[in-house]
């Protein structure tokens, strides 16, 4: 028997101390189901320390991300309030190991989600949508992992910045995405890269949540997954992401120590 709780403790400690570790599966192979149990147990540790759950994120919803990381399945993880950084604010990089940033679309739910939704129903469960960026930070050395490892690591979740909320659900399907680092374009693409339509992330999230026997409360965030590959996030940098017709979001990085 694998001690899933001990694995959760290892990955949680790596995140807490910003110290990279070897892939968990290198010493103890486990299944994808077990990976989600480890993920859940590591999130419970955060909740126990006082963090609160604010929503879920999907990963590998675009080909660009799958190709960059060498995996081919959609995954999901949890977001907590400690991950949230301010739009237009300054983000200290001390809490990360080797952060990367990626452009995303973030949804805010208006109703509880407790069953698989269809594409037609999805927008009725939404309060707002915003341009966003996710800061991902694998707890594994060299940012390398198997699918099971990255799921156990809560899908590399580390930070997020959300731009102004809007009701612009139309036109989301194929909107241009540009991410700039100090004014230079480092990633560009389209929201169509996210499952063909970012709204489909609501359908996928609802299916995954229902499958796990869980309920997502109204007022939760759903991060749809990156439209492009992720970009390394340096210190003293200004990052700006524009999603055409939706809006923009930005932040500046620094180091405390
Ligand atoms: C895993 C997280 C993937 C996305 O948006 O596709 C993800 C990783 O790339 O480390 O957040
Ligand atoms: Mg992401």
d(CA 134, ligand 2 centre) in Å: 5
d(CA 1, ligand 2 centre) in Å: 32
- For residues 204 and 216, give the distance between their C-alpha atoms in angstroms, rounded to a whole number: 13
Instruction: State yes or no: pLDDT of 64 exceeds 90.
Output: yes
Residue whose pair of structure tokens reads 């707890």 in the numeric block: 139
Ligand closest to 138 (CA) is 1
Work out the pLDDT band at 93, boundaries 50, 70, 90.
Answer: very high
Can you give 95-149 as a three-state secondary structure string? HCCCCEEEEEEEEEECCCECCCCCHHHHHHHEEEEEEEEEEECCCEHHHCCCHHH
74 three-class SS: coil
Instruction: State yes or no: pLDDT of 63 exceeds 80.
Output: yes
Q: Which atom of ligand 1 is nearest to the CA of 138?
A: 10
Write down all domains in the chain, each with its CATH number in brackets. Answer: 4-254 (3.90.850.10)
Model confidence over 14-52: pLDDT tens digits?
A: 999 999 999 999 999 999 999 999 999 999 999 999 999
pTM (predicted TM-score): 0.97
- Pocket residue to mutate for ligand 1, from 144, 159, 225, 228, most atoms within 8 A of Cβ: 225
Instruction: State yes or no: pLDDT of 187 exceeds 80.
Output: yes
Radius of gyration, CA atoms only, the chain: 17
pLDDT cut 90: percent of the chain above it: 98
Residue whose pair of structure tokens reads 């799958």 in the numeric block: 66
Q: What are phi and psi of 196, to 5 degrees?
A: 85, -20
- For residues 163 and 171, give the distance between their C-alpha atoms in angstroms, rounded to a whole number: 17
Work out the pLDDT band at 2, boundaries 50, 70, 90.
Answer: confident
Model confidence over 201-245: pLDDT tens digits?
A: 999 999 999 999 999 999 999 999 999 999 999 999 999 999 999
Which residues have CB under 6 Å of ligand 1? 59-61, 65, 69, 102, 134, 136, 138, 150, 155-156, 225-226
d(CA 160, ligand 2 centre) in Å: 9
Average pLDDT, the chain: 97
- The pLDDT, as a whole number, for residue 177 is 98
- For residues 139 and 149, give the distance between their C-alpha atoms in angstroms, rounded to a whole number: 10
- For residues 6 and 236, give the distance between their C-alpha atoms in angstroms, rounded to a whole number: 36
Q: What is the mean pLDDT of residues 152-170?
A: 97
Work out the pLDDT band at 1, boundaries 50, 70, 90.
Answer: confident
Sheet containing strand 184-190, strands side by side: 90-92, 247-254, 238-243, 176-181, 184-190
């Amino acid at each position: 028997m694998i001690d899933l709780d001990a694995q959760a403790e290892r990955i949680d400690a790596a995140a807490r101390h910003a110290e990279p570790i070897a892939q968990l599966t290198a010493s103890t192979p486990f299944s994808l189901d077990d990976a989600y149990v480890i993920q859940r147990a590591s999130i419970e540790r955060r909740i126990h320390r006082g963090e609160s759950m604010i929503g879920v994120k999907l990963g590998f919803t675009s080909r660009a991300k799958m190709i960059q990381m060498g995996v081919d399945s959609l995954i999901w993880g949890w977001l907590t309030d400690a991950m949230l950084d301010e739009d237009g604010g300054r983000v200290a990089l001390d809490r990360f190991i080797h952060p990367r940033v990626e452009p995303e679309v973030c949804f805010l739910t208006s109703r509880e989600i407790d069953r698989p939704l269809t594409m037609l129903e999805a927008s009725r469960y939404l309060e707002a949508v915003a341009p966003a960026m996710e800061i991902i930070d694998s707890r594994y050395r060299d940012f390398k992992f198997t699918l099971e490892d990255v799921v156990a690591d809560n899908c590399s979740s580390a930070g997020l910045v959300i731009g102004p909320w809007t009701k612009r659900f139309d036109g989301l399907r194929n909107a241009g995405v540009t991410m700039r680092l100090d004014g230079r374009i480092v990633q560009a693409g389209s929201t169509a890269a996210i499952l063909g339509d970012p709204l489909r992330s609501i359908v996928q999230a609802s299916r995954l949540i229902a499958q796990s026997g869980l309920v997502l409360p109204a007022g939760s965030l759903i991060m749809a997954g990156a439209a492009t590959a992720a970009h390394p996030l340096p210190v003293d940098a200004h990052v700006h992401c524009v999603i055409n017709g939706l809006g923009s979001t930005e932040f500046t990085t620094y180091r405390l120590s």
